[in-house]
Each structure stands twice: as structure tokens, then as C-alpha cells.
Structure 1
Amino acid sequence: MVIPFPSYGFQLATSPTAGNSVSTPTKAADLSKPIIFATSGLGGCLGWAFVHPANTLAVRMNLASMSGKPFSFPKMIQESGWMGLYDGISAGVLRQVFYATSRFGLFETFRDKLHEYRGKTDFGARIVVGATTGGIAAYLSCPMEVAVVRMSNDSTLPMEERRNYKNVFDTASRVIKEEGPLAFWRGSNPFVIRAMMVGVFQVATLDQFKDLYEHYLNQRRNSITNVFSAAMTSGLIYALATMPLEACKNRMASQKADKITGKLPYKTILQTLRKVSADEGFLALYNGFLPYYIRCGGHTVSMFIIVQILRDSYMQYAL
């Protein structure tokens, strides 16, 4: 049978006789590479606009524990206003230009090249390609990730500690001037590893959950309900798996050097995980999980639907 692979706009032909059967993607002639990259990036940007408030909440709730202060949503709204939920959205959307475009565009490009070399595309190949392209995309977009974290959390800091960034370009120029270009990749390791894990969990589980919900809940495959349910479930899995790395990334990207010693409190992933677990308890790494999950699942759903609409519209226009 032919099963449409939901997240990346291509189809997989699978044998009905084996659960781990080899699959063959359709020819790339259906969509040109520029269209694949363009629709991936535009879908990622538009999808992010929906979930950015959840990302802001996740960042602030997670970093509140770093400063030893309880997070209060009413207090945040009182101090920053409802528009404070959109702090850093310019950096978030610009990050998607790099992250979503390269992540999904490179995935399809690498997948097709690997298929040409091996003559097949199986489950293991999709995992390897998903992890590799996820890591590459994350590394390329890490400067924008640092800007998102800082702009999203700046208004919650005490007045004397605020950096008072004006916009994403002001953030970028000040980081380079005040801390050097390498500061953009502070916290890049957990961000890259998290992106690799997201690639694995999202690619490997999304299609399977669509089948399960079709079978057990009688949902029509590829219906909005089916896609939403599968995406939110796969989003839950990779949110659970990657939240500790997200917490490490947030702390490493937002940290300041000690005024006396000049040393940074968080240096590596393992050191950050150990320090947070020892000082605050392991569950502190999951502060802000609910909005983080809404961000993961919500962005998956909205981005996929938008990307598919864009590609379907293009194919109709092209034909």
C-alpha cells in the first residue's frame, strides 16, 4: 500500500507483509528542491507564530527556577502585559527561517541521496537522516535560539540585570560586541542534541500513531483529527525526552558570569544536569513542561498543516 509520510510531504510505499519493511519514497520530480525548502521554511515561520507564547512561558518558567523564584503567570502579565508573551518573536521567526528551512529541506535532500546510493529507504535510514539533519539545522540556527531565550526572559529580570534588547538585530549586535561571536553557540550542545532527538522521535513515531488512531479510534487517516492526535502524541514523547536538554540550553544561553570570579555557572550538558539535579532536584529540569509540550505538539500540527496546504496549492497552480 501507499502511505503518505505526514511531516515531510513525501510518500512511502511499504510492503504489507512486514512491520519493518523497506520503503521507497516517491520521485523528487513532484516538488523541486527550492519549493521544498521554501514551503518548509514558510510553514515553520507561520507555525511558530501560533506557539511562540507557549515557548515564552516555557522559557520563563524554566529560568525562574534558576533564580530560585516561583513563577507567577498573573504577575508576569501584570508586569509585561499580554504582549509580553510575544517577547522575542522576531528572533523566533527568524530562527525558523534557518531551522525549519534547513531541517526539513535537508531531510528530504539527504533522504533522496541516500536512497539513490542504497536503493532503498528503511526505518533505520530515516532515523539516521532525521538525527543528522536535525543537528545540522540546530547548529546553523543556534544564534537565533540564544536571541529567543534572552529576549523572551529579559523583561522578567530585575531592572539592574536587564539587557533591554530592542529587537533581534540589536540583540545580535550587542552579543557580538559585549561577549564575542562564540556566545551565540553557548548552550549549542544541548540544543543540537535536543534537535537530533526531536528528529528521531518525530520522524519515527508520527506516522505510527496515525495508524494506531485510525485502527483503534476509527479516525480517518490524514484527517485533521487524525493528524492533530498523532502530532500531539508524538510531540508528548519528544517533549518528555528533550525537556532536560531544553532546560540546559535555556540556562546556558541566558547565564551571566559571576561578578567576582568571572566564571560561568553552567559549562557542559552533564555538568548542568548534575548541578541542577543536585541543587534543585531532577524535576526542576521539567519546570515549564506544559507550555513546552504545547509548543512541541502545537508547532508540529500547525507547521505540517501549513506546509501541506502550501505544497498542495503550489501543485494545483503548477498543473
Structure 2
Amino acid sequence: MAQQRQAKWYFGGLASCGAACFTHPLDLLKVHLQTQQVATMGGGQMAVHIVRNQGFLALYNGLSASLLRQITYSTTRFAIYEVVKQQMMSDSSGPMPFYKRVLVAGFAGACGGFVGTPGDMINVRMQNDIKLPADQKRNYRHAADGVIRVLREEGVPRLFRGASTATFRAILMTIGQLSFYDQIKGFLLSTPYFQDNLTCHFTCSLAAGAIATTMTQPVDVIKTRAMNAKPGEFRGLWHIITYTARMGPLGFFKGYVPAFVRLGPHTILTFIMFEQLRKNFGTLKH
């Protein structure tokens, strides 16, 4: 039997960046759907409209900000979760209880959500820029340019606009992805039908992606509106919630299908890359 390896703290960030390169167009479509107040077109129509008017590369608008977000947000949450989990498992003779996985994932998600807020905000703005009139475009050249311009033009507090909703969403996302992935993987490996291979990783990550999407979609809609709002457009978080509620309960799940279409593949690719990094370059267990 091959020796088991443990993931290094930065594997999650690397895997998330790799996944983001493939799923960024889906993330862009999700942002566009969430920021329409009146539903005028679906995801497919939106994609055709963008490519026809802006060109294919417009689907990758804001990729640098997406990578910045993954470097900050995903690296932080994966690092905290993996380091704490490995420490707790080394101090215990049995498997880690699910409630402890949830608590560790929630804490890791809170830290990652706050740290990743600037990159997340720039990501939303750059993705949404192509559908604005020419005189309203922000025209950030790349993520670093966006961060510098927000600091100069709007101040540090604006860079963390939406941090509360981003942090809450990150808590739910990390619980849905990391703790449920580990729990489902442990269950599947306890049966005679699965081994620690690609089939198992695909199944666990697909289920975790579906759970995470359902848990986070209402918060994701509110977060996207808060980050993309013009100064003074909303009086606070409650104003954004009531504004969204005018569309009815489904208003909080706008863009659900593209969100799952994006988050499902992103979760699958992230964990497949993560597991390959762990199995080939991880630290050997003593």
C-alpha cells in the first residue's frame, strides 16, 4: 500500500488558481445575471451577446482579479483548514468528528473571506465593466491597477465594501466545500465501492459543489450587488436586501444555474488538482 501524504498549506491556493483559469467565463456570466434588476436574457443569451459585441476574450475580463482573489481568499481558507485539521487529527486516535470539521471550516472561511474581499470586489467590477456605457466604465487595466485606483479615488474602507457579506458567504462556502467534501469522501472510502482515486474525488467534489451553491447563493447575490453598487446607491445591507426582495424570493437565487454551472466545475477541478498535488508532492505521514 502506498504511503499516505498530507497536503501542504499552499496546495489549495494553487489548485483554486488553476481551476479559476478554466471557469472564469462562467463566473463572469453569473455576475452579469446577478446585477440585472430585470431579467432580460439568460446565461446562454448573455454569453452570445458578450462575444458578439465584445469578442471572445471579453469572457476573460477580470481574470487577473479572479486570480488575486484565489491567491488571497482560497489560499487562506485552505491553509487554515488543512493545518488545523492535520494538527487535530494527529492529536486524536480516531477520525475527526463532522461538527469539528464544520467549526474549523467556518473559521477558515471567515478569515479567507475577509482577506479576499479586495480581490473579490475588483473581480466583480472588472467583470461587470463590459456591460456599462463608455462614460461609466472603470477601465481597470488589471487587478493591481484596480486596487491602487480604489485606494486613491475611494479610500481604504471602500476596498472592503461588502466584507461582511463576503465573509459570511465564505463561511458557508468553506463549510459546504471543505467539510462536506471530507465527510463525503470519508463515507465513500468506508464502503467497498470506492478507493482514493479520481472517481472518488470527482463524486465528492460534485456533491460538495452542489451543497455549497445552495448554501451560498442568497448571500452571493447580496454580496455582488454591494460590491458593484455606486457610492450612495444603497444606504446599507438591509436596503440591498429589501431592494432584492422586490423581485420575490427567487430574486435571492438569481443566477443560480450559472452559479452552479460555474461552482460545480470549479469545485471539481479544485479538488482534483488539490488531490493530485497532495498525492504527488505532499508530505509523507510519519
- Indicate whether the TM-score tops 0.5: yes
2:155 maps to which residue? 180
- Which ranges of structure 2 fall in alignment gaps of 5 or more residues? none
226-235 or 135-144: bigger deviation: 226-235
1:273 maps to which residue? 241
8 Å CA contact retained: 1:255, 1:266 = no
The correspondence of residues 116-265 of structure 1 with structure 2, limited to 5 A, is 121-210=96-185, 220-257=194-231, 263-265=232-234
TM-score, normalisation: structure 1: 0.78
2:20 maps to which residue? 48
2:255 maps to which residue? 288
SS of residue matched to 1:36 = coil
Please give the alpha-carbon distance, in whole angstroms, between the structure 2 residues aligned to 1:180 and 1:289.
Answer: 32
Instruction: Provide closer, same or farther for how the CA distance between residues 175 and 205 of structure 1 changes in structure 2, counting only shifts above 3 A.
Output: same
**What is the deviation of 1:96?**
1.1
- For 2:40, give the aligned amino acid: P
2:79 maps to which residue? 105
Cα deviation code 1:227-246 (max 9, x no counterpart): 22332222112211211111
**What is the deviation of 1:69?**
5.8
1:70 maps onto 2:40 in alignment: yes
1:309 maps to which residue? 276
1:300 maps to which residue? 267
User: Structure 1 runs of 4+ off > 6 angstroms?
Assistant: 116-120, 211-216
Please give the alpha-carbon distance, in whole angstroms, between the structure 1 residues aligned to 2:196 and 2:181.
Answer: 11
8 Å CA contact retained: 2:208, 2:267 = no
**What is the deviation of 1:222?**
3.6
Larger Rg: 1
TM-score, normalisation: structure 2: 0.86
1:26 maps to which residue? none
Please give the alpha-carbon distance, in whole angstroms, between the structure 1 residues aligned to 2:178 and 2:280.
Answer: 24
Cα deviation code 1:66-88 (max 9, x no counterpart): xx362342222212222111111
Please give the alpha-carbon distance, in whole angstroms, between the structure 2 residues aligned to 1:283 and 1:165.
Answer: 32
Instruction: Provide closer, same or farther for how the CA distance between residues 70 and 238 of structure 1 changes in structure 2, counting only shifts above 3 A.
Output: same
Instruction: Provide closer, same or farther for how the CA distance between residues 229 and 266 of structure 1 changes in structure 2, counting only shifts above 3 A.
Output: farther
**What is the deviation of 1:173?**
1.2
Cα deviation code 1:82-123 (max 9, x no counterpart): 211111110111211112211111112223445577887322
Higher relative contact order (CA 8 A, sep 6+): 2
User: Identity over aligned residues, as a percent?
Assistant: 26
Quote the RMSD (CA, aligned, Å). 2.8
